[in-house]
Structure 1
Amino acid sequence: MAELSPLRRRMIDYMTVRNLSPATQGSYINAVQKFSRYFGRSPDRLDLEDVHAFQVHLVSTGISWASLNQIVCALRFCYGITLGQNDVPERIPCAQAAAHSALFCRR
């Protein structure tokens, strides 16, 4: 089994301390991994503009609003808790469910 990166280990530790379910932890890890792979860099080397570009990419693939919001929650956790960038999570918008509403809601 491959060794975990320090960032992934720290994220898992923070999720465990906060008692996130194993399913949520797996979902968050997969979401952050997908984000990282999209850009070919670690999340700690990506910024808010990259997050928004990734959201635009996901929307263009036809992702459901629920799936998009799950990824948003994972990225908010990664940046706000794991990376300690407290100003970032509130600036990552979530998707709205209604098709006739704006693409993103404000938190």
Structure 2
Amino acid sequence: MEATVYILRCADGSYYTGLTKQPVEARVWEHNNLPDDRSYTGTRRPVTLVFTETYDRLLDAIARERQIKGWSRRKKEALIRLHYEDLPDLSRRGHLNPD
């Protein structure tokens, strides 16, 4: 079962990391249009899709989503820019001034 991990940039500049089994464009539409003002993205619209990774196994996607959610803002931004080589140096353990 294919699943996509995605990162959205919210109108307030924050990031939201999620997971979907539906087409990611449909999920982004829901974040921007469904009437749920209590959700994280519902109060920070509009949101913009800035990153995706697709996995064949749902369990792999769940693990990746959890991993990214634990990252600092700077590390997420390196991932969004596809600067994979910067990720080890931006770990919370190895970085003196995490965001």
TM-score, normalising length from structure 2? 0.32
TM-score by length of 1: 0.31
More strand by share: 2
| Greater helix share, structure number | 1
Q: Which structure has more RCO (C-alpha within 8 Å, separation ≥ 6)?
A: 2
